[in-house]
Structure 1
Amino acid sequence: DVRAALTSADAVHGFGTDIAATLAWAVGVARPRSVAATGELLASVAVRDVAAARVLEPHLDALGILDEAAAAGPALDIDRDGAWGVFAAEGPGMRLEARQDAGTWRLHGTKPWCSLAAHLTHALVTAWVDDERRQLFALDLRDPAVTARSGPWHARGLERVVSAPIDVDGAVAVPVGEPGWYLRRPGFAHGGVGVAACWWGGAVPLRSALARAARDDRADQLSRVHLGRVDTALWAARAVLVETATVFDTGSSASAGLRAARARTVVADAVETALTEAAHALGPLPLVADEAHARRVADLQVYVRQHHAERDLAKIGGDVAAGVGGW
């Protein structure tokens, strides 16, 4: 229930800044059963605090992946309790490999971009099997064979949501889904839209700040132009998120990846517009004198970089040129 989750969030001291307290709250949140409800929850949390949404989103995503795997194949012998993450990124000079020995899978190597690994209890991680990065595994991060690095992490945005490598030296892991299943499953596109909902919710308070400025007795026509530009951008992005979630909740998987990429691009552009217009309209004062506003801007600037900008546009263009996903 979204309302119950938000009510409990309001009772958390240090929501979004105290990672342990925020994670404890996230573990107690009931996972919504639809894409639309998940997006509503994530956006509403991001309105309150961007970092809190960044904490909640991968935990819910991991639980959703486990549900998908259980529905698609044999039962998994995995303890779902605790705080979960999803580590699926790759990086130069780093490689996590999975090797099977007498029926037991073990992981060896280094995995980059493991957000909050030092705070989580479990994660779903992708690993290389032979020469293919094709298998998803459940990993207990409390295993002594897993070491979470503290950096490098010099971020000013999402400062406490440390995303650093983990080193794994033979930790036991449980396969989740068939080889290649992680990227093929319908929920992969759904999860990408959940991240976009966080971006959108994080930008909504910037619209509120612009509206307050436009109501000031000293406001001029330009202040209303800035507000209008942000209002229409976020309104359009919300419409796209709602429409995308509605389609996904019908069970349609046709061109799901392209649909999700389009939605993420629309939302990312709207967030970039909100950041730029807020900076032009409000000037430096809230960035140096308003702690909540300054932290929100910094958090959003880091978070929205999960969108790959022109590279994602090139992928969309390639799909459209190939005749995928007509209107």
Structure 2
Amino acid sequence: MDGERQDGATWRGEIEREFVAEVESGRLDLPLPGTGRTRRRWEALSALARRDLSLARLCEGHTDAVAILAELGGPAPPTGSRWGVWAAQPPGPALLARPEAGGWRLFGTKRYCSGARVCTHALVTAETADGPRLFAVSAVPGAGLRPVDGSWPATGMAASDTLDVRFDEVLGVPAEPVGPVDGYVRRPGFHQGGAGVAACWYGGARGVAETLLAAAAERDVGPHALAHLGAVDVALRTARAALEEAADEIDADPHDLKNAGRARSLRLKALVEAVATDVMGRVGRALGAGPLGHDAAHGRRVADLTVYLRQHHAERDLAALGALVAEQGAGW
């Protein structure tokens, strides 16, 4: 990545081109979770995030969609197609799905749709009369589907093109159901995919830490900065070990027969979120404002990681984990 780019639209365009290249090259044909090579899958996502977090967000969504389609028996992705998973459920009006002659149609607005202008297809959650359900849609703008320009004014993760998408309120957008009602969240892969996001956070944290590592290799940064570097090393190695352990556990129980998937995902995401937050704080304290003000790539990475980490729901997720530990017992 060119650390000197300043124009947001130019930067987003470059990230989109790199995403297209990753798909078309076959580099995103990653092992599915639980097939014996989950470590390999997460290593690839981590490497993408270390390179650029917006690119990793697009690639992670595509690979997650491919895994979901395989798990729920959805349509085979067309060659060269680029997929997103648009499944956020923020407060406010929900996207609605209605059965009509010959199929289903979606109506309303979906928020937080990463890759809104570069994905060719998407898996979208919508409300039906029987409950929430997952649908596959063509995401090419037009034919009733329109990304809402300006609906992500933030700097962080700007190149992931995470916009609101409006589905025609009158005619709707044709959609193909994937799996049963509540099938998206009830499948074992839901927690496996959630755990995989932590691999992206870890990769982003590595990228931030490398600014401190490079500075320490080039000059005398002083004992306090070296202490921060030592703490960063311990934290990142801890996160990597946790990712490897979780990947091996998923491969050993791909169908989650032990009912450990939710607790594993919550535990892993909480740990990696804490590590990434600590790394950003320590690098900032060690190096001051210099890299944030004068290193465009570093400043962008910090802004992106700050936003990306908010996929972790903080105390709400910790409370959910605590409830599971209280119910099932601890494995300390």
TM-score after normalising by structure 1: 0.89
* 1:63 aligns with one of 59, 63, 66: 66
Shift of residue 15 of structure 1?
8.6
Q: Give, in angstroms, the shift of residue 42 of structure 1.
A: 0.5
Equivalences for 1:146-165 in 2 at 5 Å?
A: 146-165=145-164
The alpha carbon displacement at 1:17 in A equals 6.0
1:226 pairs with 213, 225, 228, which one? 228
- Which SS does the other structure have where 1:76 is aligned? coil
Counterparts of 1:93 and 1:111 in 2: how far apart (Å)? 10
1:255 and 2:251 aligned? no
Q: Hey, what does 2:311 align to over in structure 1?
A: 306
Deviations 1:47-87 (A, max 9, x none): 122221112100111011111122xxxx6376464111001
Which secondary structure does the structure 2 equivalent of 1:18 belong to?
helix
Q: Match for residue 209 of structure 2?
A: 207
Deviates more, 1:198-207 or 1:235-244: 198-207
Per the TM alignment, residue 95 of structure 1 is displaced from its structure 2 partner at its CA by 1.2
Please say if residues 57 and 114 of structure 2, whose CA atoms lie closer than 8 Å, have aligned partners that are also in contact.
Answer: no
Q: Is the 8 A contact 1:137 1:176 kept in 2?
A: yes
User: 1:227 offset after TM fit, Å?
Assistant: 0.5
Q: Which has the higher contact order (CA 8 A, sep 6+)?
A: 2
C-alpha contact (below 8 Å) 1:125/1:139 kept by paired residues: yes
Specify the alignment match of 1:26 in structure 2. 22
d(CA) in 2 for partners of 1:325 and 1:166? Answer: 42
CA distance in structure 1 between the aligned counterparts of 2:114 and 2:291, rounded to whole angstroms: 28
- Match of 1:112? 111
* Per-residue deviation, 1:16: 7.2
Instruction: Confirm or deny: 8 A CA contact 2:64 2:85 kept in the other structure.
Output: yes
The question of whether the paired residues in 2 share the 8 Å contact of 1:36 and 1:249 is answered with no
Using the TM superposition, give the Cα deviation of residue 122 of structure 1 relative to its aligned residue in structure 2, in angstroms. Answer: 0.6
CA distance in 1, matches of 2:90, 2:280: 28
Give 1:21 shift: 0.7
Equivalent residue of 1:178, what SS? coil
How big is the shift at 1:326? 4.3
2:194 aligned residue: 192
Match of 1:295 in 2: 300
Return the alpha-carbon distance in structure 2 between the equivalents of residues 325 and 148 of structure 1. Answer: 45
Give me the identity figure in percent. Answer: 41
Sort the Cα spacing of 1:77 and 1:302 in 2 relative to 1 into closer, same or farther, 3 A: closer
SS at match of 2:91: coil
Paired residues of 1:35 and 1:190 also in contact (CA < 8 A)? no
- Measure how far apart 1:281 and its partner are: 0.3
Aligned residue for 1:32, secondary structure, equals coil
Aligned to 2:4: none
**Aligned counterpart, 1:53:** 56
Alignment-derived partner of residue 282 in structure 1:
287
Residue of structure 2 in register with 1:240 after alignment = 242
Output the CA distance in 2 between the equivalents of 1:87 and 1:213. 39
Distance of 2:208 and 2:160 partners within structure 1 = 22
Partner AA of 2:280 in structure 1? L
Q: Deviation at 1:199?
A: 0.7
Structure 1 residues 105 and 80: CA distance shift in structure 2, 3 A? farther
| TM-score normalised by length of structure 2 | 0.87
Distance in 1 (CA, whole Å) between partners of 2:276 and 2:68 is: 27
- How much is the aligned-residue C-alpha RMSD, in angstroms? 2.0
Unaligned runs of 5+ in 1: 1-13
Aligned to 1:139: 137
Distance 2:295 2:97 in 1: 47
- 5 Å-filtered alignment, 1:32-111, equals 32-33=30-31, 34-70=37-73, 76=75, 79=78, 81-111=80-110
Residue in 2 aligned with 1:121?
120
1:245 CA drift (Å): 0.5
Between 1:135-144 and 1:268-277, the stretch displaced more is 135-144
Task: Say how many residue pairs are matched.
Answer: 309
Paired residue type of 1:50: L
1:253-285 Cα shifts (integer Å, max 9, x gaps):
122011011001110000000000001001011
**2:21 is aligned with what amino acid?**
W
| Match in the other structure for 2:320 | 315
User: Could you tell me whether the CA contact under 8 Å between 1:22 and 1:55 is conserved in 2?
Assistant: no
Distance 1:216 1:118, change over 3 A: closer
SS in 2 for 1:91: coil
Give deviations 1:109-148, integer Å, cap 9, x for gaps.
Answer: 1111111212211100011011622x10001112511111
How far is the alpha carbon of 1:152 from its aligned partner?
2.2
Partner of residue 7, structure 2: none
